[in-house]
Structure 1
């Protein structure tokens, strides 16, 4: 029996009025903002802060993102965004995000990040300490 995957971070948030469109639901682009906010929370969990992550002489850029919408979120909904690591390669990693309202999955995202050298902005393998911090959240095979 495989163990359930473990989130790197779980971020609660409440939908703000200005995030909703004319239909009264969260405008689609805000879901990516929620994902991005959770990614910074994961850096806090793993490294203490975004600045401490950057102090490792690495950074990441988004190379690919995919969103799936299952149900709408509306003003004042209490949501939880969870981030999971699904793949850790040589210079990239893939994270899955789940956005839930009251335990019900309303949206999913998959984001591929590429590690870069901050000085050159070119892909570069992350330092061993960074790789090790993320590797602890890989699902068991």
Structure 2
């Protein structure tokens, strides 16, 4: 199963050439991850980071930009879990406009004890919820 959201490309997202300025994709990716933790996993950033003792900092990122996206395009984002480690979470996020793939990102997050800033094992109940979003081949 994938976690899916749509987002319209706004004026603030584009450069003078009228296409999405690539750093804006990273903001969109972060927004998708935040929505996934909140709506998909039931452990939002407020509960996890602000009120709780955990965090999920980005450890690695790969991105492929396949085709330009323009103002007012609707991007359909899809998030799947590529691999779950003891404390790492490897995701794949794909942005499409219609049938055309515009961008693919492969972030790796690390589940940490926030105060200690050290990787810890993903709690079993959270891991189980993440497994529902594992990529199917």
Fold conserved between structures, TM > 0.5: yes
- Superposed CA deviations along residues 25-78 of structure 1, whole A, max 9, x for unmatched, are 110101111111111111122116333445674321100011101100011111
1:112 to 91, 108, 121: 108
**What is residue 23 of structure 2 aligned with on the other side?**
29
Contact 1:11 1:38 in 2 (8 A): yes
| Structure 1 residue ranges without an equivalent (≥5) | 1-5
| Structure 2 residue ranges without an equivalent (≥5) | none
Tell me whether 1:99 sits opposite 2:95 in the alignment: yes
TM (norm. structure 2) is 0.90
1:40 to 18, 21, 34: 34
Question: What is the total number of aligned residue pairs between the two structures?
Answer: 135
Structure 1 runs (4+) deviating above 6 angstroms are none
TM (norm. structure 1) is 0.87
Contact 1:115 1:126 in 2 (8 A): yes
Q: 1:49 to 1:108 in 2, by over 3 A?
A: same
Give the CA RMSD over aligned residues. 1.7
SS of the residue aligned with 1:47? coil
Q: 1:131 to 1:56 in 2, by over 3 A?
A: farther
**Equivalents in 2 of 1:140, 1:17: separation in Å?**
35
**What is residue 46 of structure 2 aligned with on the other side?**
51
**Equivalents in 2 of 1:107, 1:140: separation in Å?**
20
